């Protein structure tokens, strides 16, 4: 028979057991915390996802092929970049977004870039690369059965076009060839979707616009091409970015230009495959796209001194016509030619 424990001994034993339990719980919690901290330290930090925002051109061009093939997304993934393709009505809208920081890569004709530079005070636009002129892809449309048979017949007529676009520039050239000026016609400034509706409704007499609109209009028997820009266009398109994006991500742009160059080369060599790839997005049948393919000369070209000089001539023209509030020095948007050489793919530099 065990002797009875004193009250003091019992209280002491209970205290010891409680202290032991608390110490055990603290040690267990501390071990878990250390294990969790160790686990966190061993987990590599996740890269912050970044987005490269590119215009979706919805045209028969290499940039459209690049989107559909998906190669750029794969090549930029190791840099922590995804790609977002954004649609805009025309070049001026693209460069408004670029200026606002909502777009990183634009593809426009010569005039939108100049008007964008005019709106900036040493602003963010930077010319990256250029293209062939491809004048046949821009057309002046008139209605089937229209009394307009020659360029001289345009006098006094309502002509729709996107202000500050290649359509605007070519209209100046076309009218000049007929001895006319912009003041001799009624200019109707409309973005392509609105101009399409106005032309289809007969609200305007003519429309100067780029592919694929002329092909769609002709297929719908709404109108036909009076003249295209083949003998009028003396400029090319430009790929542009913001100076901030260039300074921060020249590696991304270098990969983009290399992938674009491959897409352009593929487009030249594979007309049927290109047509089949883009038929759904352009809403044009493959046989018609094959015919359109003949209007294009594909390729991404490096910026050159003659190209800069020509761009300045266009800027001076717009200023003389009163469309720019001040003269524009286009060179503020161009890089030194040596810097272009570092950005452009080796194969492009060697071919020119």
Q: Once rounded to an integer, what is the mean pLDDT over residues 87-92? A: 96
DSSP 163: T
- Say if 312 falls within a structural domain: yes
| pLDDT, position 26 | 35
Helix (H, G, I), strand (E, B) or coil at 190: coil
Residues 326 and 122: their CA atoms lie apart, in Å, by: 13
Residues 162 and 181: their CA atoms lie apart, in Å, by: 17
Q: Once rounded to an integer, what is the mean pLDDT over residues 291-320? A: 97
pLDDT in tens, 223-237: 999 999 999 999 999
Q: Once rounded to an integer, what is the mean pLDDT over residues 7-27? A: 38
- Say if 180 falls within a structural domain: yes
- Say if 24 falls within a structural domain: no
| pLDDT, position 347 | 52
Inform me whether the pLDDT recorded for 13 exceeds 90: no
**Ordered DSSP codes for 270-303:** -HHHHHHHHHHHHT--HHHHHHHHTT-----B--
| pLDDT, position 18 | 37
Q: Which residues touch 250 (CB under 8 Å, ≥6 apart)?
A: 343
Residues 193 and 144: their CA atoms lie apart, in Å, by: 20
115 and 251 housed in the same domain = yes
154 and 218 housed in the same domain = yes
228, 263, 292 — which closes off a domain? 228
Residues 293 and 95: their CA atoms lie apart, in Å, by: 27
| pLDDT, position 197 | 97
- Say if 119 falls within a structural domain: yes
198 and 243 housed in the same domain = no
57 and 124 housed in the same domain = yes
DSSP E strands: which ranges in the chain? 50-55, 81-86, 106-108, 125-130, 138-143, 158-161, 186-189, 206-210, 223-228, 238-242
> Lowest-confidence range among 4-13, 156-165, 289-298?
4-13
- Mean residue pLDDT of the chain comes to 88
Give the CATH number for residue 171: 3.40.190.10
- Say if 40 falls within a structural domain: no
Q: Which residues touch 326 (CB under 8 Å, ≥6 apart)?
A: 118, 319
pLDDT in tens, 279-302: 999 999 999 999 999 999 999 999
170 and 219 housed in the same domain = yes
305 and 335 housed in the same domain = yes
The first and second tokens of residue 245, run together, are: 């994006």
Tell me the residue range of the domain where 300 lies. Answer: 50-133+236-351
214 and 278 housed in the same domain = no
Nearest to 61 by CA among 287, 238, 264: 264
DSSP 101: T
Nearest to 315 by CA among 133, 164, 138, 96: 164
Query: Biggest alpha carbon distance in the chain?
Result: 130
> Lowest-confidence range among 25-34, 139-148, 203-212?
25-34
- Say if 279 falls within a structural domain: yes
| pLDDT, position 122 | 57
140 and 189 housed in the same domain = yes
325 and 221 housed in the same domain = no
Place of tokens 């019992």: 10
228, 250, 271 — which closes off a domain? 228
Residues 85 and 68: their CA atoms lie apart, in Å, by: 11
110 and 150 housed in the same domain = no
Nearest to 148 by CA among 160, 138, 156: 156
256 and 219 housed in the same domain = no
126 and 249 housed in the same domain = yes
Count of structural domains within the chain: 2
- Say if 30 falls within a structural domain: no
- Say if 35 falls within a structural domain: no
pLDDT in tens, 145-155: 999 999 999 99
164, 193, 228 — which closes off a domain? 228
| pLDDT, position 121 | 60
> Lowest-confidence range among 45-54, 112-121, 186-195, 197-206?
45-54
**Ordered DSSP codes for 310-334:** HHHHHHHHHHHTT-SSS---GGGGP
Query: Helix, strand, coil % (nearest 5) of the chain?
Result: 55, 15, 30
Inform me whether the pLDDT recorded for 262 exceeds 60: yes
> Which pTM was predicted?
0.84
């Amino acid at each position: 028979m065990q002797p009875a424990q004193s009250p003091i001994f019992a209280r002491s034993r209970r205290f010891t057991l409680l202290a032991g339990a608390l110490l055990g719980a603290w040690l267990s919690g501390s071990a878990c915390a250390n294990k969790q901290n160790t686990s966190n330290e061993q987990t590599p930090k996740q890269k912050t996802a970044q987005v490269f925002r590119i215009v979706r051109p919805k045209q028969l061009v290499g940039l459209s092929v690049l989107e559909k093939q998906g190669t750029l997304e794969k090549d930029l993934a190791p840099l922590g970049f995804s790609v977002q393709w954004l649609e805009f009505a025309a070049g001026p809208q693209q460069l408004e977004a670029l200026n606002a920081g909502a777009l990183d890569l634009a593809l426009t004709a010569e005039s939108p870039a100049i008007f964008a530079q005019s709106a900036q005070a040493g602003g963010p636009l930077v010319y990256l690369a250029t293209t062939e002129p491809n004048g046949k892809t821009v057309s002046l449309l008139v209605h089937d059965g229209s009394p307009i048979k020659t360029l001289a017949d345009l006098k006094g007529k309502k002509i729709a076009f996107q202000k500050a676009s290649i359509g605007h520039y070519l209209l100046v050239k076309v009218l000049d060839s007929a001895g006319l000026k912009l003041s001799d016609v009624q200019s109707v400034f409309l973005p392509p979707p609105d101009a399409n509706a106005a032309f289809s409704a007969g609200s305007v007499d003519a429309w100067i616009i780029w592919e694929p609109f002329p092909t769609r209009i002709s297929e719908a028997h709404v109108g036909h091409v009076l003249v295209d820009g083949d003998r009028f266009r003396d400029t090319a398109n430009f790929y542009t970015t913001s100076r901030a994006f260039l300074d921060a991500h020249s590696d991304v742009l270098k990969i983009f230009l290399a992938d674009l160059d491959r897409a352009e080369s593929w487009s030249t060599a594979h007309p049927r495959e290109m047509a089949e790839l883009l038929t759904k997005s352009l809403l044009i049948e493959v046989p018609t796209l094959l015919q359109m393919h003949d209007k294009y000369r594909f390729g991404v070209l490096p910026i050159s001194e003659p190209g800069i000089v020509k761009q300045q001539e266009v800027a001076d023209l717009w200023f003389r016509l009163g469309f720019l509030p001040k003269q524009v020095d286009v060179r503020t948007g161009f890089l030194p030619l040596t810097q272009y050489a570092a950005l452009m793919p080796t194969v492009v530099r060697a071919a020119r």
